[in-house]
Amino acid sequence: SDLQKQEERGELLQPLIFVLLVLCSVLLYFKVSLMDPGFVKPEEEVKEGENKGQGVVIPQIPGDIKLRRCGYCLVKQPMRAKHCQLCQHCVRRYDHHCPWLENCVGERNHPLFIVYLSVQLVVLLWGGHVAWSGLYFEQSWEWLQHNIFLLVSFLLIFIFTIVVLLLLVSHLYLISCNTTTWEFMSHHRISYLRHSELENPFDQGIILNLWRFFC
């Protein structure tokens, strides 16, 4: 049959890979949106050993800055944590609240969020290539009627590709600097950054920053 001939020629491999990438993207979306981003539990208290370890890693932070209790959920906030009023929880290493995921991006799901953006970008670029390859341009109303769906699809894919690309690049830049979106946008309002001698006391070099984040 034609299907068997296409399989023998390897023509079914690319569509299969594309479908698997789309499925992986959907699974990653639900994983990142449903998992715990690093909520600070009420029963958790920062241990003295953790504080000492943190002091070794970032000795530039003044010692008079004390951990405070959240004014909303009354838990003791670890450093780099922030309360999200939409999730009603304090989140460890808070980055931002993503409206597309309806969940925070924090310490636990931030690496998976980057993987999700990467897979989504590959799917969009591939889909854009498919949509573009199906277009052949003619200056006629009849041509426009027959290709309007492909044109709209390509335009939407192009817009989403630009958004995802910019989002991924900005996050990779912040990760390479060992900072978060919240710290980058609100540097002047965060006590442990405002009173630090360095602009970014967490930065340990690009390689070590990426290693600590992903590994």
Contact 135, 51 (CB under 8 A): no
Contact 106, 38 (CB under 8 A): yes
Query: Which tokens in the block code for residue 162?
Result: 């630009």
The active-site residue out of 70, 73, 87, 98 is 98
Q: Tell me the C-alpha distance between 110 and 171, whole Å.
A: 10
Contact 73, 88 (CB under 8 A): yes
Opening angle at CA 169, ends 187 and 85, nearest 5: 45
Query: Which tokens in the block code for residue 114?
Result: 């980057």
3-class SS at 103?
strand
Query: Which tokens in the block code for residue 188?
Result: 């002047």
Query: Which tokens in the block code for residue 93?
Result: 């290493």
Q: Which DSSP symbol is given to 205?
A: -
Q: Tell me the C-alpha distance between 94 and 151, whole Å.
A: 39
| Residues forming beta bridges with residue 33, ordered by sequence position | none
Residue 73 is a catalytic residue: no
Q: Which DSSP symbol is given to 44?
A: -
Please give the positions annotated as active site: 98
